[in-house]
Structure 1
Amino acid sequence: MTYDRKKQLIQKAAIARKQLGIDDEAYRALLSSRFGKSSSTKLSIAQLADLLNLYIEKYGWKPTPSKTAKPTPTQQKGKGYQGEFIKLDVRDPLGPQKRYALALAKMLGWKLSGLDTRCKTQFGVERFQWIRKQGHMQVLINDMVTRCQKRGIDPTPQS
Structure 2
Amino acid sequence: MAKYNPKKGLIQKAAIARQQIGIDDVAYRMLLERRYGVTSSKDLNIKQLHDLIHNVYIGEYGWEPKPSKNKKPTPTQKKGKGYQGEFVEINPKDPLAKQKRYALALAALLGWKLSGLDTRCKRQFGVEKFIWITKQSHMQTLIKDMQVRCKKRGIDYEPNA
2:90 is matched with which residue?
88
Question: Structure 2: where are the runs of 5+ without partners?
Answer: 1-69
Task: Tell me, yes or no, if the aligned pair for 1:148 and 1:154 is still in contact at 8 Å.
Answer: yes
Q: Distance in 1 between matches of 2:157 and 2:74?
A: 32
Shift of 1:158: 3.3
- For the residues of structure 1 that align with 2:98 and 2:122, how far apart are their CA atoms? 21
Q: What TM-score do the two structures reach when normalised by structure 1? A: 0.52
- The aligned residue for residue 115 of structure 1 is 117
- Of 73, 76, 80, which residue of structure 2 is paired with 1:75? 73
Alpha-carbon contact 1:77-1:113 (below 8 Å) kept: no
Task: Specify every segment of 5 or more residues in structure 1 that has no aligned partner in the other structure, as ranges.
Answer: 1-71
Letter in 2 for 1:75: P
Identity %: 65
Structure exhibiting the larger radius of gyration computed from Cα positions: 1
Amino acid across the alignment from 2:88:
I
SS at match of 1:100: helix
Q: 1:131 to 1:153 in 2, by over 3 A?
A: same
Shift of 1:77: 3.8
Runs of 4+ in 1 over 2 A off after TM superposition: 76-79
| Residue in structure 1 matched with residue 126 of structure 2 by the alignment | 124
Residue 82 of structure 1: how far off its partner (Å): 1.2
Is 1:142 the counterpart of 2:144? The answer is: yes
**1:104 to 2:102 alignment:** no
The amino acid that maps onto 2:86 is: E
- Could you tell me the TM-score, scaled by structure 2's length? 0.52
